[in-house]
């Protein structure tokens, strides 16, 4: 039997195994995503958007005119260019020309880069917004260009390896570590002592783990990020989310400044990420989830997601039968599940070390 929805309750429909097939929702969703991917590869973004609109998805098929990033609230009749002068003052103060040299891109509109580095706590910047909107855009842009690079890689990775590689390369921890590698933190504009202290600790952590070390990606995979902490917990936060955010916001800024050119964004960020990408591709790291399931294939069980209405986060629990239970938090199911797996792995590794230590004493 299968079911149909009549508006109030689910009613059964006759189902003949000989003449009918039953498909799960995920299978259908995967097929639709595959069709979208095929259109994107063969026909390009414009045709893909039209196809998605034909499917009934709400997408923008025509370019939208963006407002300029420079907000001229402080301009007056007596000082019509006061905002531009303030922009230039901040540009010089935080040495953004050095940053342009570092990333290999010159901004036509400097306000984009200023906005990309401005934290919400810096109230003195009244000429651009903070970086949050650019971070939202840059997150999507980087996810797309990195995913496409991996898909078109000459190694023709399997679906499982593609998933692991994307998880290893598109995450706040790696973005934050790359931001530190290229000294983005030295241009960060914020008035939040706690955040600056957290960034200083993270810079020291990156130096200890050696940014070019062979095991850097796997080690950084296991550190705790700011968004993985449940409210009320005392666990030490090692990765400040703001560092990963400004790495993404720079991608959003370049995307808009270049006239929405994905090729230019990828040219800039491939140069910044090349060493990390090559290392991951030559030795694909396992995600914490995959590693846990390989370590405890019979006993590790993940719960369904639980939404926390107060914070908008998601909670997931992993139960290691006969041992213990661990909870993970995050803004998505994937992040929460990964957090729970990290905590379980830390515990299991500590148990293993204790057993090895005890065996060595005997």
pLDDT tens-digit readout, 45-76: 889 999 999 999 999 878 778 888 888 888 88
pLDDT at position 213, please?
46
Dist. CA 274–CA 212, nearest whole Å: 12
**DSSP-H helix ranges across 182-257:** 193-209, 216-221, 241-257
Sign of the C-alpha dihedral computed for residues 79, 121, 223 and 300 taken in this order: negative
| Cα angle, residue 326 at apex, residues 323 and 330 outer, rounded to 5° | 165
Structure tokens at 3: 């079911």
Q: What is the pLDDT of residues 293-345, one digit of tens each?
A: 888 888 899 998 899 888 788 899 999 887 788 988 887 888 888 889 988 99
Question: What's the pLDDT band for 181 if we cut at 50, 70, 90?
Answer: very high
Task: Answer whether 347's CB lies under 8 Å from 324's CB.
Answer: yes
Task: Answer whether 333's CB lies under 8 Å from 305's CB.
Answer: yes
Dist. CA 108–CA 112, nearest whole Å: 9
Dist. CA 102–CA 168, nearest whole Å: 24
Task: Answer whether 271's CB lies under 8 Å from 257's CB.
Answer: no
Beta-bridge partners for 114: none
User: Parallel, antiparallel, or unpaired: how do β-strands 2-5 and 10-13 relate?
Assistant: antiparallel
Flag whether pLDDT at 24 surpasses 90.
Answer: no
Dist. CA 151–CA 157, nearest whole Å: 7
Flag whether pLDDT at 110 surpasses 60.
Answer: yes
Q: Which residue has the higher pLDDT, 268 or 171?
A: 268
- Residue (of 133, 122, 91) closest to 190 by Cα position: 122
Helix or strand (DSSP H, E) at 318? strand 313-320
Residue that the structure tokens 């830390």 belong to: 346
Dist. CA 306–CA 314, nearest whole Å: 6
- Residue (of 90, 55, 304) closest to 189 by Cα position: 90
Per-residue pLDDT, averaged over 99-122, amounts to: 97
Q: What is the pLDDT of residues 239-266, one digit of tens each?
A: 899 999 999 999 999 999 999 999 999 9
Distances (CA, A) of 177 to 23, 51, 66, 324: 42, 38, 31, 31
Rg over CA atoms, the chain: 24
The single-letter DSSP state of residue 11 is E
Flag whether pLDDT at 96 surpasses 90.
Answer: yes
pLDDT at position 214, please?
43
> What average pLDDT is seen over the chain?
86
Sign of the C-alpha dihedral computed for residues 352, 355, 360 and 361 taken in this order: positive
| Cα angle, residue 91 at apex, residues 202 and 80 outer, rounded to 5° | 145
179: left (phi over 0), alpha (psi -120 to 50) or beta: alpha
Dist. CA 318–CA 327, nearest whole Å: 6
- Residue (of 119, 164, 170) closest to 140 by Cα position: 170
pLDDT at position 355, please?
84
Q: What are the structural domain ranges in the chain?
A: 82-223+237-282, 288-360
pLDDT at position 235, please?
47
Q: How many CB atoms lie within 10 A of CB 286?
A: 17
**DSSP-H helix ranges across the chain:** 25-43, 45-54, 82-93, 96-103, 110-116, 132-151, 159-169, 172-181, 193-209, 216-221, 241-257, 262-282, 288-295, 333-361
Distances (CA, A) of 285 to 215, 300, 304: 9, 20, 25
Flag whether pLDDT at 123 surpasses 80.
Answer: yes
Q: What is the pLDDT of residues 271-291, one digit of tens each?
A: 999 999 998 898 887 788 888
Q: Which residue has the higher pLDDT, 51 or 78?
A: 51
Task: Answer whether 286's CB lies under 8 Å from 294's CB.
Answer: yes
Task: Answer whether 242's CB lies under 8 Å from 190's CB.
Answer: yes
Flag whether pLDDT at 11 surpasses 70.
Answer: no
């Amino acid at each position: 039997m299968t079911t149909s929805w009549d508006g109030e309750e689910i009613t059964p429909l006759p189902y003949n195994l000989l003449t009918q097939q039953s498909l799960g929702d995920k299978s259908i969703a995967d097929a639709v995503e595959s069709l979208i991917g095929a259109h994107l590869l063969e026909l390009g973004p414009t045709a893909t958007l039209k196809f998605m609109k034909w499917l009934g998805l709400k997408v923008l098929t025509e370019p939208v005119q963006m407002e300029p990033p420079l907000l001229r609230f402080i301009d007056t009749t007596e000082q019509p260019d006061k905002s531009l002068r303030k922009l230039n003052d901040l540009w010089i103060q935080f040495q953004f020309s050095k940053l342009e040299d570092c990333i290999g891109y010159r901004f036509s509109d400097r306000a984009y880069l200023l906005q990309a580095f401005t934290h919400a706590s810096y109230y003195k910047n009244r000429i651009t917004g903070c970086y949050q909107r650019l971070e939202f855009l840059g997150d999507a842009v980087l996810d797309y260009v990195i995913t496409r690079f991996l898909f078109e890689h000459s190694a023709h990775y399997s679906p499982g390896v593609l998933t692991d590689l994307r998880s290893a390369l598109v995450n706040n921890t790696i973005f934050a570590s790359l931001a530190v590698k290229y000294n983005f933190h030295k241009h960060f504009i914020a008035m939040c002592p706690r955040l600056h202290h957290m960034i200083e600790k993270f810079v020291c952590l990156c130096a200890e783990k050696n940014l070019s070390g062979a095991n850097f990606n796997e080690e950084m995979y296991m550190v705790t990020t700011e968004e993985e902490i449940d409210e009320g917990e005392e666990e030490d936060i090692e990765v400040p989310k703001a560092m990963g955010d400004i790495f993404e916001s720079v991608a959003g800024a370049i995307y808009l400044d270049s006239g929405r050119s994905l090729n230019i964004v990828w040219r800039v960020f491939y140069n910044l990420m090349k060493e990390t990408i090559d290392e991951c591709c030559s030795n694909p790291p396992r995600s914490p989830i995959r590693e846990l399931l390989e370590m405890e294939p019979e006993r590790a069980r993940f719960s369904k997601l639980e939404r926390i209405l107060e914070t908008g986060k998601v909670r997931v629990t992993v139960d290691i039968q006969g041992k213990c239970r661990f909870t993970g938090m995050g803004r998505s199911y994937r992040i929460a599940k990964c957090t729970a797996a990290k905590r379980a792995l830390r515990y299991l590794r500590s148990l293993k070390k204790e057993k090895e230590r005890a065996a060595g004493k005997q």
